[in-house]
Structure 1
Amino acid sequence: MAEPRASGGGGRTSATDQKAVRGWLARLARGSRFWIWSAVAAGTVAGVATIIQMILLARIIHLGIIDEVPVAELTPFFLGLILALAVRALGQGFQTQLAARCSEQVRRDARRQIHKHWQATGPVALDQPSAGTLAREWIDHVEALHGYFARFLPQMGLSIIVPLMILALVFWLDWLAGIFLVLSAPLIPVFMALVGMGAEKVNQQHFETISRLSGQFLDKVRGLTTLQLFGQTAGAAELIRQRSDHYRRITMKTLRVAFLSSAVLEFFASVAIAVIAIYIGFGLLGYISYGPSAELTLFSGLLILLLAPEFFQPLRTLSQHYHDRAAAMGAGAEILARLSRPVGSHWSVDLADAAAISDVIELNSVSKVFGTDQQVLKELSLTIRQGDVVALTGPSGGGKSTLLHLLAGFLAPDTGTIQLFGQAPGSFRFGWLGQKGFLVQGTWADNLRLTTPDASDIAIATALRNAGMGPLLDSRKYGIHSAVSEDGHGLSGGQARRLSLARIFLANYDLILLDEPTAGLDSDSEVFVLEALHKLAVAGKTLIFSTHHQALLTLANRILLVSGGEVRDARPEAVAESHLQAPGASGCGRFPDPRHPALRHCPARDFQLVYH
């Protein structure tokens, strides 16, 4: 299920939240200030060209009708008009291009912030929210910022600069008409703000709803097989239908507010232009003699009429783009909620104080507590030599996975320090294999090149054979280019695990961490994994793995018992005694034939303990 939002309820944000979102958007804009002002400058050039265009058009009409100037003598004015149109088009084109460049940089910065937060959160905590929610934040929420930075922000500057230029010219032509423009201009921003208050809340609900719907839909698709097995597909489909219908209503509400705001603003702009037109018309007819109206000419009156729509146009465009601001505020609130979530302690290494490169892994007084009172590890001090093969065993929930996550840098300890061969966890290159292998849509080669992009086909084939996939590789028509999906379609669970294990052979890591590498595998797959790990151990790699299987325990030259927050060395005989199992169970004891290939690595003393 998609996680609920941390702040607010029902899609409503407090004034403090809105202020925080505005501050975050302002910080993003600060890094792209050059592109924003360049877009404003290009728009200003287009605005100046528009004013010149209207002046030339009014002049041509006045000379042609009132002064009856021949068309041939008006050629320079027509050429100037064409030039003004070309400059206006170029200015608008450059404005769009520069604004898009600004938006591109801002979205890159936003994704960089999200990526850094994901890194700081770590794969363990990041696995809690739905992948659908994270994908929506990464893709759609960030894309929703485009309109704000590409259209709204540049238009804010243009809605001040261009109207002021037009207003100055109108005041010079007729100060009474200029007063009408001044009095009517504030109506648009006022109503834009009033409508925008509701638009921000609606957009907040829109983004929250689609985030949850995405997470729920992805969860249902991933668990489709389970739902079918338990006959719950009808209930799941009904839930998705209800959520989709709720999203439909929110979307229609958002569109209704957007259309309503546009209609209101267009109405007031049209009324203001109509008032100016009435004044100019009655002034030219001589019905108004107050102020400068007696001095109106066809040129000045027509120019004022032509400039009046252009005076309101930047404000109308700003109102049209105001929903981009509302969308950015809604998306920004969701993104900021993610960025504001607390993360674990950051690993940091002062190079001046870091220990020299050594051949040991050291943990000094390491403690880790989950929640308020669940202490998993207590004052753990441990030293592991390079080349050791260490098995972590003990009861479930004892802290084996937590210890591996600490070594990998996925979690940071509450107290104490950890050094991996003189380096901090997270900064040291290592191999990892969890209980579920990670695959991407593509081929076997694509999956292995995730860690080694420049690996040759021969190296990939060798790594697959080392992982026990040689017979399967030979049986496939396309070899290393055989297709595989992210859920392992085309491979069994054991084969998918070995495909992930082959990455470790290919990347040639010095340190390899494995969390229950044989969990959930059949006996044949266990044999292959055991053979592969033995090859890594013989190659002098440092292996640290958690397991309950006796066959894996016999690979280790050191066994650590993790239980009750403590980690202590255990005698192999004692561990073997604690893992005595009936024939058919997992471990060395599952193989009835002592000559089974998987038992070639079991020391004789352990074998005798299992089969006494």
Structure 2
Amino acid sequence: MTAIPSTKAMARARGRWLTAAAGTGAGAAGAVLLLDTLAAIGFAAGLAGGVVAVPDGLAAVLPWAALVAVTGAARGLFAMASARIGAAAAERSKAQVRRRVVEAALHRAPGGATTLGGWITAAVDEVEALDGYVARFLPARRAAVLAPLLVLAATAIASPVSAAILLGTLIPFVIAMALAGGAAADESRRQFVALSRLSSRFADRVRTLPVVLAFGAEQREAKALGEAADELATRTMRVLRVAFLSSAALEFFAALSVALVAVYCGFNLLGQLPVPVPEQLDLGRAFFVLALAPEFYGPMRRLAAAYHDKQSAETAAERLMALPAPLTPARPRPISAPPALAFHDVTIRYSDSDRPAVANLSFTAAPGQTIALVGPSGSGKSSLLHLLLGLAPVESGTVLVDGVPLDRMGTVAPLASWAGQHPLLLAGSIRDNLLLANPKATPRDLDAAVEGAGLGPMLARRPAGLDSEIDSRGSGLSGGERRRIALARALLKPAPLLLLDEPTAHLDHASETALIATIAGACRGRTTLLATHSERVAAIADQVVRLGDSQ
């Protein structure tokens, strides 16, 4: 049994993951925020010096006014630079993590528990949650460690007592923020889980919309989605209430510190403090302390404003860390000649099924042979093809490709051409759809594939020929024409292995007859696995393997 990691161990693992995902850009943004704090100290000094120099005339004020102008402009530039550096770092971080998620989705183990909606949510919503963490929270956190100390040190030089007042108000503020932060973490985690659940459910229902409509379940599903959305809204309001509470605590202690410093400086200047203090302020030092006091809580204001980003990112990190790692199959050795295939006692079973899709199947295919997999729907024909492509789980048995175990190769996709029973078409030209198999194909290669698949008559009826536009549903194309495009695409890839899944399904007798000759031509010079329920198609094969009730 796998041990459940402790809360502290999970927090450390999550922190390491987020640190690796964030990269170094957030550190640069935090350093720029520290420069903003130094500019704030210069700005306060300019204000104080200018006020003191007013009685001496305009000439004495101008240098201080120049300091105010330069440091004020510098603060604006530093704030803008920090935001841009943080945003750029966040974009790099999201691109890197999103690339990992997509790679894991495309190279996942067959039969995984994560649904399509779950992968979509991970690649979009959960990765996007890293944006505020990298762009705003990390720079603010790094600046909040040192910036208050810089302000405190500058204040202590002018007035140690004022620095002590600022430090004294910080202690209860830290306690209040710790309490609010713990509550915010729990509420934010529940809110993010609810958001992920809603996004995953919505994506899955959109994907299965035809089934929902066919069974008249649209009202029920709409109601369920509405209830999930209401739950998310409720949890979001709870997060906002905690955020408002923490903001109120921050503003209270920030206002309290400034007010106490202002009262102290005023009574000190008037010499009417009720207790003795070891300093006597002049106007310049008092004004400098008053101008700088609000900056003491400025870095912590930024941190508090971005604290929700931290909670969202940590919740997203936990979910992203739990995604299965992508499979890393060994790179298959180059095969240019038609390979030999051998299936020995192969059993395929999906995780959500009680019975195997294929049980104890054995057969061999010599190089260049065409093997027809014949059987009724559900007999496992497509699963065998998917197995070769790394899309179906092997429970037992072995598959050899030219003597090399398939589990060492992972997939035969690099050396195979594929045409499925539901040909994938892209919105664009017919040429674009064909070049999907081989983007570097020459015009001569295209002409050979078109001729081999028998696409000539169809293209002759279209004024634009290969440049004719089609949509993703193949509107305006017959079933036979869609399958011929899929065959032409398979022919265009110079692969020694050909996998065809029900290439003549749902075609009438005349269309099937015309396509069988095309298929026979496509199989020449390749090792071919041909899944079909048609005995007429199976007749062109060198060997017939019967599955299911046909055995």
Partner of 1:134: 119
Instruction: Report how far residue 319 of structure 1 moved.
Output: 0.4
Partner of 1:542: 527
Partner of 1:408: 389
Measured in 2, the distance between the counterparts of 1:245 and 1:493 equals: 44
Instruction: Report how far residue 203 of structure 1 moved.
Output: 3.2
Asked if 1:114 corresponds to 2:101, the answer is: yes
Q: Structure 1 residues 253, 18: CA separation in 2 closer, same or farther (over 3 Å shift)?
A: farther
Out of 98, 102, 111, the residue aligned to residue 85 of structure 2 is 98
Is the 8 Å Cα contact of residues 174 and 292 (structure 1) preserved in structure 2?
no
Task: Name the amino acid aligned to 1:347.
Answer: P
Measured in 2, the distance between the counterparts of 1:203 and 1:387 equals: 59
Asked if 1:515 corresponds to 2:501, the answer is: yes
Asked if 1:171 corresponds to 2:161, the answer is: no
Q: Structure 1 residues 422, 285: CA separation in 2 closer, same or farther (over 3 Å shift)?
A: farther
Alignment deviations for residues 266-294 of structure 1 (CA, whole Å, 9 cap, x no partner): 22322222222222222222221645464
Unaligned runs of 5+ in 2: none
Partner of 1:426: 411
Measured in 2, the distance between the counterparts of 1:561 and 1:522 equals: 23
Measured in 2, the distance between the counterparts of 1:231 and 1:88 equals: 61
Out of 525, 528, 532, the residue aligned to residue 518 of structure 2 is 532
Partner of 1:306: 291
Asked if 1:361 corresponds to 2:341, the answer is: yes
Instruction: Report how far residue 165 of structure 1 moved.
Output: 0.9
1:36-55 superposed matches below 5 A: 36-55=26-45
Which of 479-488 and 402-411 deviates more? 479-488
Task: Name the amino acid aligned to 2:49.
Answer: R
Measured in 1, the distance between the counterparts of 2:161 and 2:332 equals: 70
Task: Name the amino acid aligned to 2:108.
Answer: T
Task: Name the amino acid aligned to 2:77.
Answer: L
Measured in 1, the distance between the counterparts of 2:382 and 2:308 equals: 48
Is the 8 Å Cα contact of residues 400 and 546 (structure 1) preserved in structure 2?
yes
Q: Which gives a bigger RCO, structure 1 or 2 (Cα 8 Å, sep 6+)?
A: 2
Instruction: Report how far residue 155 of structure 1 moved.
Output: 1.1
Asked if 1:30 corresponds to 2:20, the answer is: yes
1:84-483 superposed matches below 5 A: 84-122=71-109, 124-125=110-111, 129-225=114-210, 227-228=212-213, 230-288=215-273, 290=275, 292=277, 294-339=279-324, 347-348=329-330, 359-363=339-343, 366=346, 368-371=348-351, 374=355, 382-394=363-375, 396-411=377-392, 413-414=394-395, 417-421=398-402, 424-426=409-411, 428-455=414-441, 460=446, 463-464=449-450, 466-483=452-469
Is the 8 Å Cα contact of residues 35 and 78 (structure 2) preserved in structure 1?
yes
Measured in 1, the distance between the counterparts of 2:394 and 2:69 equals: 71
Is the 8 Å Cα contact of residues 188 and 316 (structure 1) preserved in structure 2?
no
Is the 8 Å Cα contact of residues 444 and 480 (structure 1) preserved in structure 2?
yes
Measured in 2, the distance between the counterparts of 1:96 and 1:358 equals: 57
Task: Name the amino acid aligned to 1:47.
Answer: T
Partner of 1:60: 50
Partner of 1:581: none
Alignment deviations for residues 26-59 of structure 1 (CA, whole Å, 9 cap, x no partner): 3342365432322222222222122112112211
Is the 8 Å Cα contact of residues 159 and 279 (structure 2) preserved in structure 1?
no
Task: Name the amino acid aligned to 2:430.
Answer: W
Instruction: Report how far residue 522 of structure 1 moved.
Output: 4.0
Measured in 1, the distance between the counterparts of 2:381 and 2:283 equals: 89
Q: Structure 1 residues 172, 508: CA separation in 2 closer, same or farther (over 3 Å shift)?
A: same
Measured in 2, the distance between the counterparts of 1:269 and 1:172 equals: 21
Instruction: Report how far residue 145 of structure 1 moved.
Output: 0.4
Alignment deviations for residues 350-392 of structure 1 (CA, whole Å, 9 cap, x no partner): 98xx999884234456555555985566666654222111111
Q: Structure 1 residues 280, 487: CA separation in 2 closer, same or farther (over 3 Å shift)?
A: farther
Is the 8 Å Cα contact of residues 204 and 333 (structure 1) preserved in structure 2?
no
Measured in 1, the distance between the counterparts of 2:469 and 2:11 equals: 44
Partner of 1:572: none
RMSD: 3.5
TM-score, with length taken from structure 1: 0.78
Alignment deviations for residues 484-504 of structure 1 (CA, whole Å, 9 cap, x no partner): 444444445554444333321
Is the 8 Å Cα contact of residues 452 and 522 (structure 2) preserved in structure 1?
no
Is the 8 Å Cα contact of residues 499 and 528 (structure 2) preserved in structure 1?
yes
Task: Name the amino acid aligned to 2:329.
Answer: W
> SS where residue 185 of structure 1 aligns?
helix
Alignment deviations for residues 170-210 of structure 1 (CA, whole Å, 9 cap, x no partner): 22222222122112223444333323333333333333333
Partner of 1:73: 60
> SS where residue 188 of structure 2 aligns?
helix
Is the 8 Å Cα contact of residues 170 and 178 (structure 1) preserved in structure 2?
yes
Asked if 1:82 corresponds to 2:69, the answer is: yes
Is the 8 Å Cα contact of residues 184 and 242 (structure 2) preserved in structure 1?
yes
> SS where residue 56 of structure 2 aligns?
coil
Is the 8 Å Cα contact of residues 349 and 395 (structure 2) preserved in structure 1?
yes
Aligned residues: 542
Measured in 2, the distance between the counterparts of 1:389 and 1:397 equals: 22
> SS where residue 314 of structure 2 aligns?
helix
Is the 8 Å Cα contact of residues 349 and 393 (structure 2) preserved in structure 1?
no
Task: Name the amino acid aligned to 2:30.
Answer: V
Measured in 2, the distance between the counterparts of 1:524 and 1:69 equals: 105
Task: Name the amino acid aligned to 1:76.
Answer: P
Instruction: Report how far residue 221 of structure 1 moved.
Output: 4.2
